Amino acid sequence: MFPQEVMDVIDTVLRHNAWRRGETINLIASENVMSPLAELLYVNDLAGRYAEGTVGQRYYQGTKYVDALEDSLSKRFARALGATFVDVRPISGTVANLATYFALAPEGGLVASLPVKFGGHISHNTVGGLKALRLRSVELPWDMDNFNIDVDAARKVIEEKRPNLVILGASLYLFPHPVKEIAEIAKTVGAYVLHDSAHVFGLIVGGVFPNPLKEGAHVTTTSTHKTFPGPQGGLIATVLGDEVNVQIQRAVFPTFTSNYHLHRYAATYVTLVEMEVFGGEYAAKVVENAKALAEALSAEEITPVAERQGFTKTHQVAVDVSRFGGGDKVAALLEEANVIVNKNALPWDKSVLKPSGIRIGVQEMTRFGMGRDEMREIARFIARVLRGEDPASVRRDVATFRKAYLEIKYGFKINREIVDKLFASLNLYT
pLDDT at position 220 is: 98
What is the third-level CATH fold of 39-270?
Answer: Aspartate Aminotransferase; domain 2 (3.40.640)
Task: Write out pLDDT tens, residues 315-366.
Answer: 999 999 999 999 999 999 999 999 999 999 999 999 888 999 999 999 999 9
Q: How far apart are CA 298 and CA 302, in angstroms?
A: 5
Q: How far apart are CA 227 and CA 207, in angstroms?
A: 12
Length of the chain equals: 430
Q: How far apart are CA 317 and CA 171, in angstroms?
A: 12
Phi, psi of 187 (to 5 degrees): -60, -35
All structural domains of the chain with their residue ranges: 26-34+279-402, 39-270
R_g (Cα) of the chain, nearest Å: 22
For 217, how many CA atoms within 13 A lie in the half-sphere containing its CB? 25
Q: Which residues contact 3 (CB under 8 A, 6 or more apart)?
A: none
Residues of the chain with pLDDT under 50: none
pLDDT at position 346 is: 96
Phi, psi of 255 (to 5 degrees): -70, -45
pLDDT at position 127 is: 87
Cis peptide before 254 (omega within 30 of 0): yes
> Which pTM does this prediction carry?
0.97
What CATH number has the domain spanning 26-34+279-402? Answer: 3.90.1150.10
pLDDT at position 430 is: 56
